[in-house]
Every structure is written in C-alpha cells, then in structure tokens.
Structure 1
Amino acid sequence: MPVSGWEAVRSLVTEIGLADPEDASVNCILEALRVARDLRDGREEAVVAVVSGGSDSRVGADRSIAAQLDELVDRHDPTSAIVVVDSAEDERVLPIVESRLPVDSVDRVVVRQAHDLESSYYLLKQFLADEELRSTVLVPVGIGLLVVPSLLFWFSPEVAIAGLSGLLGTVLLYKGLAIDEYLADVPDRVRAALYAGKVSIVTYVVAAGLSLVGIFLGVLSISELPGSQPLVVEAIQIVYAAVPWLAGAALTAATGRLLDELIRDEGIRSHFLNLPFVAVAVGLVVRGFAGYFLEQERLLPPLSAGGIVVSPTQRLALFIVGGIVVSLLGVALASDMGGDRLEDVIDAEEDDRGRQPR
C-alpha cells in the first residue's frame, strides 16, 4: 500500500475477491473504479488509488493512512479527492484526507442486502456515543423501567401505564420547550439582579407567595361546593377562587419591573407600562368566564348592584368589557409615554436576559 493506477487497482480487487468474496472492500474498490471511469468519460483526468491502515491500533492505522496519502500526493500531485468508503466507521479518515487535499465528495458503499442492518447498527452506535442524547432519552426510559415494577406491585396496571406515560411526557415537554436551558440561566439572572439591587427580586418573591396562596385557597374552595360535583366544575371553582390572587401576583411582578424601569437612568420603556394593565385585564376576563359557568350551575349567587340583578350573560359581558377597557387604558398610556419599536423591545429583553439577539 498504497496501490494506484487503473490496472493495479483492478488486479488488487481481483485478488481480494478471490481470497475472500464476502469482503466488503471488494465492493468499495469496485465503486472507486466506477467513479474513476465516470470521471474519465466526462473528460476529467482521474487516478484511482487504494489506501489501507495496516496496524493493530487506531492511531497506528491513521498514521499509516496519512503516510500513504503523502506518498500519493507526491506521486500524482492531485488537486482534489473523492473519498470512497465501505462503512460509516471508515469515514473517520476524512479529516486525514482533508488535511492534505480538498474533498469534493464522499461516496459510502453499503452492500444492498445488509443496508438496513448496517445503517441501524451505526445509527445506534452514534446515538450511544452522544452524551446529550443518552441523558435525554436513556435516563428517563431507565427511570421509567425502574418505576413501573413498583407501580405494578402497589397499584393496578392502568396506574403503572399512566405513571410511565406521565413521566415520559414530562421529560419530552421539559426538553422540547427548552425549560432546562431557561432554568440553567436562572441562577445567573438572579445573581445579576441581586448585585444590581433590583426591586423586582422582592416583588417576584411576593408574587410567588401570592400564587401559592391563590392555589391553596382555590383547592380549599372545593369543600364549599354542595354535594358531589363533576371534576370540571371543581376545576372551574378552583380557577374562580384563585384568579384574584394570581392576578395580584402578576400585578405585583409587573409593578416590580416597572419600578426597576423608574430607577433606571434611561427612563421608562413604554412596554413595561402596559404590563400591570394586562395582568388586571386577563384576571377580569378569566374571573368573568369562571363566574359565568358557576352561575349557570347555580353554585354562585347572581350579581346585583343597586337593587338591579344582573343575568349570567350580562355578568360575563361586564367582565369582558372591563378587561378590554383596562387593556386599552394600558395601551393608551404606553403610547403616550413612549413609542418603542418592537425590535427595540426584543433587543432590550434579550439584553436583560444576558443573551445575544438572534
């Protein structure tokens, strides 16, 4: 090795084929001869050559191939190369070739009968070699397989299947929504906010506390329902009782961001002015829909003002109109106080998160 030239390579493939007809190298060398013939038919000067790593270690084999390539370059002075390999594993020689010659194409030859088996093998091998894919797929599957026997021992098969599907679904959403990347940035963002003395840190903690109170009171409000109610009614009751607290939490968090803007020397960016109004508007609309459903089920007393009783539909309309009015007030105030362009708003948000805009 190396062997170069049409006649020499053709003689080599004949000898290899007679010695071991099942050797995959036979198909690889024949493909190299075909490529050289097609190039010559297209009036391109082409030299076919065969290199092989004759060593027991991978480092020794790579060095042997490198030396053979240097010899071929000195002998023929090629301007580029077309690499023909017979397996995905042999593609590791590509960097060696590219360090000496520009590679125009890579032709991987797989015996047709073994194509599916070999492709599956190398895909599985590459998958197991990727640390991120292993941690993303194999770890949740392994945990699920460990949990299923315990669930089957203590509960029914339906519970075991539901628990396994819930675990896998949570993992897929966790990775699919890039929650891991967001959580990875949280410590740096919190540290930067603490060092900068931002008011929003305190308001975020207060907002989290209000949210927990709202969820707790929402769940407790189920006990106030008369008799046994359908699950959907109980869910709406939780939403109805928790919405004021959740809206207060959103309003507190938005107010904290607004106070941070007031402290800034550059002034208030107008889109932050709209955040408190949006929190109140969304809370009104959600509260209105939840109250409408509960009043239809006779679980909520009618709304009355000044002796005038309001029907469920009128009640819903009042909350919707109130939400729209509050939202319009926020938009009008933000427009009067400034006129930030959407690109500036996005750039500012990216800067606050410590990321580069895409």
Structure 2
Amino acid sequence: MTTLVVCLDRTDDVGRKTGLRSPVVGWEAVRALVTDVGLADPEDSGVNSLLETLRVAQDLRDGNEDVVVAVVSGDRESMVSADRAVAHQLDELVAEYDPDSAVVVIDSAEDERLVPIVESRMQVDSVDRVVVRQARDIESTYYLLKQFLADEELRQTVLVPIGLTLLVFPILATVVGPAEGAAAITTVIGVFLLYKGFNIDELLTGLAHQARESLYSGQVSVVTYVVAAGLTFVGLFAGALGVSGLDNPAGVVIPAMRFAFDSVPWLAMAALTASAGRLLDEAISDEPIRRSYLNLPFIVVAVGLVVRGFSAYFLEQQGVIDPFEVPAAEFGALSNESFVVTAGERLALFVVTAIVISLVGARLASYFSESESNHNEATETAQDAPPTASSQSELTDGGPTGAAAKRADDSDEDDLDE
C-alpha cells in the first residue's frame, strides 16, 4: 500500500522564493526545500507545512507503509491556471507512483480549495491543517474578513447600510437632535431588516416579471387585475367613510366591524374579478383548467358573505345599523306581512348561504376535473388502441385506394403487352 503525503501550495510561494519548479518529490528533496524556504523567508508559514509533511511521512514509515513525499504548487497568473497546474502535477504523480491513498497537508484556507482536486484523483484519508499557534486567531479573522469582502452581495447588504448610518446620523443629530436622529436611524434599519427578512425584494421582482410576461402575452387577467385594484381602492375608501361617520365610537371593535361591513362587498368584487380573469386565461390556454381556479370564485363569495354576516351582527347588536326588515309582498293569491329578521337569524342565513356556495363550488370543480380527466383518458386510449381490420388493410395495400391502384397497375401492364 502506497500513501502519497502531499503538501499543497496554491499560490506557488515555494517556487517564488526558491526558484524551484514543482512537483518536488522525495524525502531528501523536500528536506532540502525546507532549508531553502526558511532561508528565503523565515516568517513564512510554509516552512511549518513542509516540516509537518515530513513528520507525517516519518510516522507512516514507522508504521511500515510505503510513503511518497511531494510538494505540489500552482502558479501566480490566475486561480484557474493555478488549479489546472496542480491537477496536472497530481496526474503525473498518480501515473508514476500509483498511490492507493493520500494525506493532504495545507496551511491556509486558500490551499484548502485544492482538496477537491486531490479527492477527484485518489482517495484522501486525512487533511492536515497546519496553523501557527501564535497566529491562529489572527489568521482565522483575516480569512473570514477576506471572504466577507470578496462577496459582493454581503458587502452591499452589510457595509452599505452601516456606511449610510455613519453618514446620516451626525446630520440628523445636528438638525433634529441625537434622540430623534437615533430613532429615525433605528426605524430605517428595522424596516430594512424586515424587507430582507421577508424577501420582499424577491417578491417584487417576481411580480414585475409576471406583470411583464402578462402584458407581452396579452392575458385577460391584466385587465381584470387593474379593475380589481380599482375596486379595492373603492372598498378601502368606502370602509374609511363608514368609520368616519361613527359618532364617538368606543374601542376598536366597532370601527373595525364598520370598516369590514362597508368594504367587504367591494373587496369581494375585486377578488371575484381577479379570479375570473385568471380563470379566463386558464380556459383560453391549451392546458386543462386547474381545480383551484374553478373553486376560487365560489370561495371568494363565501368568505365575503361570512365576513359581512359577522360584521352586521356586531353592528346590529350595538345599534349602529338597523335590523333587516322583509317588506310585505303579494304574489297573486299569496301574500305576506312585513317582518323583521333578528341579528342571529341574519348571521345564520349568511353563514348557511356561504357554506352552500362553497359546497356548490367544490362540487362543480370536482365535476369539471373528472370530466377533463375522463376526456384525457379516452384520448390516450384511442391513441394507444391497436389498428382495426380496415386500417390494417389500408396499411397492407398502401392506403384506402391500394386495391384500386393495384388493379390499375395490372391493366397498364396488359396494355403494354398488347
């Protein structure tokens, strides 16, 4: 069993300081290399990596293993060329010594990026990371800061808000006071964190992309969404007018119920318009209509009725709205007197109607889905069915007029013989 103990140097510090070309292979060659690198730069941590490589090889030799000691370096042109140089040198070592496994010795996070290259060519039993004791925390902090500053997204997310805060706070502290400036800064930071935490930027990007595709494809939902937005604003305005018409309401419940009572019909119409446009797009497209789009309009109406019923119940209990009165009517010989529907009866009527509408919607959606699936199954069955006798004869004779064509060919041959 042959083990390759290889010291990785991605930036070619060994070649730059000693002038030697890698790979450097052999115990004596690596031992001499330690002296050359130490004399060129005694403060370089690469000396410790080379010594650790020799120590690991010596321990393996003491265990009666065949060991090949090597130092592999990249180049200074670019990271890609450095990785390719290391891969080429490893291929040469594998072709010459055919190691069964490898022990990798590295001294930095930069060299650790080469470990997958070694793993792609041979089995790696161990990765020995050499860190100088007195520089452990400094080096770790340095590489963390280096990786942080190399990430453009992290720089924009962290450094830009900190820089803006340091610039804006002195101005606000001078103009409006330190307390107000600190409050404004913390408010902006809180809004920014919520913006990033809820991925609002991705949602806005997705909405813009969807709106652009809808405009270019000419979907009906573009118009219905605009109408729905208008109805939504009308509903909010109607709810605000209803709340402003209250006479000194106590608490929050009554204004909220009044807002819901006045705005829900408009909001329900907005949602119904948007869902109808989406349903029309699904019907126009070649794909089958999904069950959720069929059921959505009924759910919207049912939810609107429930919210309207509960808000009317609370408002009627507080005397904000009058009870519902059914006027007298005559239908031929039948007639009825006017009567008042109580708040509980009105709520029950709205809830029962909403349940019935939701059940009807679910049933219709299920019916259309089953019809569509049965149609698709019938189409697939017709396509997969074996050919009939007439179709087989057509295939055999060369088409529906195969026999007639054959008789015509025979008559032509008889004319030629004559």
- Normalising by structure 1, report the TM-score: 0.72
Matches of 2:58 and 2:311, distance apart in 1 = 76
Rounded to whole Å, the distance in 2 between the matches of 1:108 and 1:82 is 11
Deviation at 1:166, TM superposition (A): 1.9
Displacement of 1:274 in angstroms is 0.8
The question of 1:310 aligning with 2:318 is answered no
Aligned pairs for 1:1-358 (under 5 A) are 1=20, 2-10=23-31, 12-13=33-34, 23-33=44-54, 35-36=56-57, 45-52=66-73, 62=82, 72=93, 76-78=97-99, 81-93=102-114, 101-102=121-122, 104=124, 106-111=127-132, 114-142=135-163, 153-154=175-176, 156=180, 157-174=182-199, 178-183=202-207, 185-194=209-218, 198-227=219-248, 230=251, 234-264=255-285, 268-292=289-313, 294=315, 298=318, 300-301=320-321, 303-306=323-326, 307-311=339-343, 315-339=346-370
Determine if contact 2:100/2:123 at 8 Å carries over to the other structure: no
Q: In the alignment, residue 167 of structure 1 is paired with which amino acid?
A: F
> Do the aligned partners of 2:165 and 2:185 also contact (CA within 8 Å) in 1?
no
User: What is the Cα-based RMSD across aligned positions, in Å?
Assistant: 4.2
SS in 1 for 2:67: coil
Q: 1:331, 1:111 → 2: CA distance?
A: 70
Amino acid aligned to 1:327: S
**How many residues align structurally?**
334
How far off its partner does 1:330 sit? Answer: 0.6
The offset of 1:38, in angstroms, is 6.3
Matches of 1:34 and 1:232 in 2, distance apart? 78
Supply the distance in 2 between the matched residues of 1:40 and 1:303 (Cα, whole angstroms): 98
SS of residue paired to 1:338: helix
CA distance in 1, matches of 2:80, 2:298: 70
1:105-134 CA-partner distances (Å, limit 9, x unpaired): 654433455444433332332232223333
User: CA offset at residue 284 of structure 1?
Assistant: 2.3
Report the CA distance between 1:16 and its aligned residue: 5.7
Find the aligned partners of 2:62 and 2:358 in 1 and give their Cα distance. 73
Judging changes above 3 Å, is the alpha-carbon distance between structure 1 residues 265 and 172 closer, same or farther for their aligned structure 2 residues?
closer
Per-residue CA distance 1:161-205 (angstroms, 9 max, x = gap): 233312321232235x841552353254224432xxx32221111
Deviation at 1:273?
1.7
One-letter amino acid matched to 1:304: F
Q: d(CA) in 1 for partners of 2:324 and 2:58?
A: 92
Distance in structure 1 (CA, Å) of the matches to 2:350 and 2:141: 59
* Residue pair 1:53, 1:60 contacting (<8 A) in 2 also: no
| Partner of residue 332, structure 2 | none
Report the structure, 1 or 2, having the larger strand content.
2
- For the residue of structure 2 that corresponds to 1:84, the secondary structure is strand
C-alpha displacement at 1:84, in angstroms?
2.4
For the residues of structure 2 that align with 1:80 and 1:192, how far apart are their CA atoms? 58
Unaligned runs of 5+ in 2: 1-19, 327-338, 377-418
